[in-house]
């Protein structure tokens, strides 16, 4: 572990001048990391590398993300300012409050599979925006690089085959999806199969040649409208034409002298990472072992309080009032007093932060981060929601469409695919963006980035990010050490504490003895992180040890 005084002094210093340019990238797939590395070698910056990784992930990790989905991108610029680019999907203009109800009851499949489940995708628009404003390499080059991988194909690994096994029934419902992702008998491919996606490659090349107009204003928009009309969907070409990325103001908070920059609504991540960390400042976590009952209990109770608030208050801030007080120190101190050191406290409902009416904000995902020594840091989380999204591929395009409409509250109190409940704040409305747990986060000291982290895994994203930051700051761990610790998660409803078995049976038994309903699992989520090395110039980082991701650092 790093000495705390040394780390404070080290990160307080500016990067030492060097003739070398140092770059870093971490993604969940070796080919995506390689694509980012090659982009750096061609003179690109961290923004270019992030977009190259994103487009490649849409090929090799397409069950998690792609241009048929959305993203949140948090960017730290060399001048010290931030960009928070919201490429979240939106509800179609024809969407309605009760579109997923039948005879007054929620019909879950409608929001998870097929035409009604699909939101208007925004990832491509976000990538285009950041490249035009801050990239050094044209979007067309990034698209062609990824298209080549789609044409040549790649060998399916265990993670991809596992997702196919999980979603084979859904994919069989849609001929174009089955044609690409299943064999001629409608079954999953055998181990070692090389998956080629010629339709997706063709779409990438068309966008490269004709710009994103092909997607939002041209043939893809028209193809999508036609398929929707024939399959009971709501999206029209007008939805794609009218789609706009949003520039957001990051949620800025502090934790034990470090500054935390997170993503604002419609992400719940920035708000609740800040809220949980604010609550935890009341407790001496540094004195608690990461696998101890006391450590898990205090953080789990803070998570539970925050998720209860999430269920009531959080939604798209352009449609519903989201109190800034949720991330205030004053409110956190009040909540911290509710945590009993040796027993579970009942949390029946949400709490009310100060000035809640007036001071307002204007499981199957992927996270990747990039950084360079010029001062660009990028944290991006992208998604199509659950595995292979809606299951739909728009015919002839190879583009997997999201099922992000399931992230709305179909009915107050009704759980979505992740068991999350919501209230009117996250109800469906035309043009509205569904609430998300995606939490791209950058940690700073004296105004300089020192650590970035994000994760995949539905609502556990928030928990994973909190734990990584706590391990980094309180336990002075490196990114690799921080991500290697046993994880746990509490989201208020359902009222149980999810823990990784690696936490140890003794701790699990003790947690049960003080009132936690514990459910043990082999693994929770997948996080990626980058930090500064001990000399203040090199980057250190880690792909999640639970997955097949790769971190790379280069000097050129």
Q: What is the mean pLDDT of residues 321-340?
A: 94
211 phi-psi bin (left φ>0, alpha ψ -120 to 50, beta other): left
The model's pLDDT over 150-169, given as tens digits with 9 standing for 90+, comes to 999 999 999 999 999 999 99
Q: What is the pLDDT of residue 364?
A: 64
Fold topology of 248-364+438-528+539-555: Serum Albumin; Chain A, Domain 1 (1.10.246)
**Secondary element (H or E) of residue 339:** none
Question: What is residue 432's predicted lDDT score, i.e. its pLDDT?
Answer: 96
Mean pLDDT for the stretch of residues 402-408: 94
pLDDT at site 4: 45
pLDDT in the model for residue 347: 75
The answer for 80, left when phi > 0, alpha when psi is -120 to 50, beta otherwise, is: left
Task: List pLDDT tens digits, range 365-394.
Answer: 899 999 999 999 999 999 999 999 999 999
Q: Is the pLDDT of residue 349 over 90?
A: no
CB atoms within 10 A of CB 174: 24
What pLDDT is attached to residue 460? 94
pLDDT at 84: 97
For residue 330, what are the CA distances in angstroms to 303, 340, 355?
17, 19, 11
Instruction: Give the catalytic positions in this structure.
Output: 365
pLDDT score recorded for residue 15: 41
Please state the pTM of the whole predicted model: 0.92
Q: pLDDT, tens digit, for every residue of 10-24?
A: 443 344 444 578 999
Q: How confident is the model at residue 351 (pLDDT cuts 50, 70, 90)?
A: low
pLDDT given for residue 419 in this prediction:
54
Q: Torsions phi, psi of 497, nearest 5?
A: -100, 115
pLDDT at 237: 98
Burial 382-409 (b: 16+ CB within 10 A, else e): bbbbbbbbbbbbbbebbbbbbbbbbbbb
pLDDT for 423 equals 59
* Residue 204 pLDDT exceeds 70: yes
What tokens appear for 429 in the block? 């409305």
Residue 285 has pLDDT above 60, yes or no: yes
Q: What does the pLDDT average to over 323-333?
A: 95
- Range picked from 248-262, 354-368, 422-436, 531-545 for highest mean pLDDT: 248-262
Residues 489-538 have pLDDT tens digits of: 999 988 999 999 999 999 999 999 999 999 999 999 999 999 997 666 68
> Bridge partners of 44?
none
Residue 16 is predicted with a pLDDT of 41
Residue range 400-415: mean pLDDT, rounded = 82
Beta strands 550-555 and 22-27 are: antiparallel
Identify the pLDDT of residue 355: 64
Task: Give the pLDDT confidence score for residue 20 in this predicted structure.
Answer: 76
Mean pLDDT (the chain, rounded): 91
Smallest Cα–Cα separation from 551: which of 33, 32, 167?
A: 33
Distance from C-alpha of 262 to C-alpha of 226, rounded to nearest angstrom: 38
Reported as a single tens digit per residue, the pLDDT across 354-367 is: 665 555 443 468 99
pLDDT computed for residue 517 by the predictor: 96
Domain with CATH 1.10.246.130 in the chain: 248-364+438-528+539-555
Residue 410 has pLDDT above 90, yes or no: no
Please give the pLDDT value at position 21: 86
| Residue 417 predicted with pLDDT over 70 | no
- Would you place residue 6 in the very low, low, confident or very high pLDDT band (cuts 50, 70, 90)? very low
**Residue-level pLDDT at 19:** 53
As a whole number of angstroms, the distance between CA 142 and CA 53 comes to: 9
Query: Residue 424: its pLDDT value, please?
Result: 78
- pLDDT of 341: 93
Smallest CA-to-CA distance from 34 within 57, 17, 14, 16 is with: 57
pLDDT at 361: 41
Could you give the 3-state DSSP secondary structure of residue 491? coil
pLDDT band at 2 (very low <50, low <70, confident <90, very high): very low
Angle at 342 between CA 339 and CA 343, to 5 degrees: 70
Task: Please give the biggest Cα pair distance in the chain.
Answer: 68
State the average pLDDT over residues 122-134: 98
């Amino acid at each position: 572990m790093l000495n705390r005084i040394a780390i404070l002094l080290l990160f307080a210093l500016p990067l030492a001048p060097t003739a070398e340019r140092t770059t870093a990238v971490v993604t969940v797939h070796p080919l995506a990391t390689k694509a980012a590395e090659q982009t750096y070698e061609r003179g690109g910056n961290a923004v270019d590398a992030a977009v190259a990784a994103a487009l490649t992930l849409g090929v090799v990790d397409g069950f998690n993300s792609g241009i048929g989905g959305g993203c949140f991108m948090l960017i730290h610029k060399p001048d010290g300012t931030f960009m928070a680019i919201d490429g979240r999907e939106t509800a179609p203009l024809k969407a309605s409050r009760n579109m997923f109800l039948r005879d007054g009851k929620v019909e879950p499949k409608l929001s998870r599979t097929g035409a009604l489940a699909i939101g208007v995708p925004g990832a491509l628009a976000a990538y285009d925006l950041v490249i035009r404003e801050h990239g050094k390499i044209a979007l067309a080059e990034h698209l062609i690089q990824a298209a080549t991988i789609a044409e040549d194909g790649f060998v399916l690994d265990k993670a991809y085959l596992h997702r196919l096994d999980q979603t084979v029934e859904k994919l069989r419902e849609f001929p174009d999806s089955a044609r690409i992702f299943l064999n001629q008998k409608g079954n999953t491919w055998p181990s070692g199969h090389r998956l080629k996606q010629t339709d997706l490659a063709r779409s990438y090349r068309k966008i490269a040649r004709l710009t994103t107009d092909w997607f939002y204003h041209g043939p893809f928009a028209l193809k999508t409208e036609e398929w929707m009309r024939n399959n009971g969907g709501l999206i029209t070409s007008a939805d794609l034409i009218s789609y706009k990325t949003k520039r957001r103001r990051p949620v800025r908070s502090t934790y034990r002298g470090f500054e935390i920059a997170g993503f604002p609504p419609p992400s719940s991540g920035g708000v609740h990472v800040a809220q949980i960390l604010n609550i935890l400042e009341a407790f001496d976590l540094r004195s608690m072992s990461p696998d101890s009952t006391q450590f898990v209990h205090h953080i789990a109770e803070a998570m539970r309080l925050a998720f209860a608030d999430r269920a009531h208050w959080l939604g798209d801030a352009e449609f519903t009032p989201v109190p800034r007080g949720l991330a205030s120190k004053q409110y956190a101190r009040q909540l911290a007093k509710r945590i009993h050191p040796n027993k579970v406290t009942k949390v029946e409902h949400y709490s009310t932060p100060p000035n809640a009416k007036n001071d307002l904000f204007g499981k199957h995902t992927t996270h990747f981060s990039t950084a360079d020594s010029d001062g660009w840091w990028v944290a991006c989380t992208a998604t199509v929601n659950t595995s292979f999204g809606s299951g739909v591929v728009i015919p002839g395009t190879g583009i997997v469409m999201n099922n992000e409409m399931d992230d709305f509250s179909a009915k107050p109190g009704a759980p979505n695919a992740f068991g999350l409940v919501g209230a009117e704040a996250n109800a469906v409305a035309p043009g509205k963006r569904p609430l998300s747990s995606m939490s791209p986060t950058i940690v700073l000291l004296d105004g300089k980035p020192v650590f970035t982290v994000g994760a995949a895994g539905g609502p556990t994203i928030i928990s994973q990010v909190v734990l990584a930051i706590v391990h980094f700051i309180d336990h002075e761990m490196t990114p690799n050490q921080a991500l290697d610790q046993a994880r746990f998660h509490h989201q208020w409803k359902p009222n149980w504490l999810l823990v990784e078995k690696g936490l140890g049976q003794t701790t699990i038994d003790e947690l049960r003895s003080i009132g936690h309903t514990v459910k043990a699992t082999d693994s929770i989520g997948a996080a990626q992180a980058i930090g500064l090395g001990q000399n203040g110039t090199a980057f250190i980082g880690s792909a999640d040890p639970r997955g097949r991701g790769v971190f790379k650092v280069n000097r050129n």
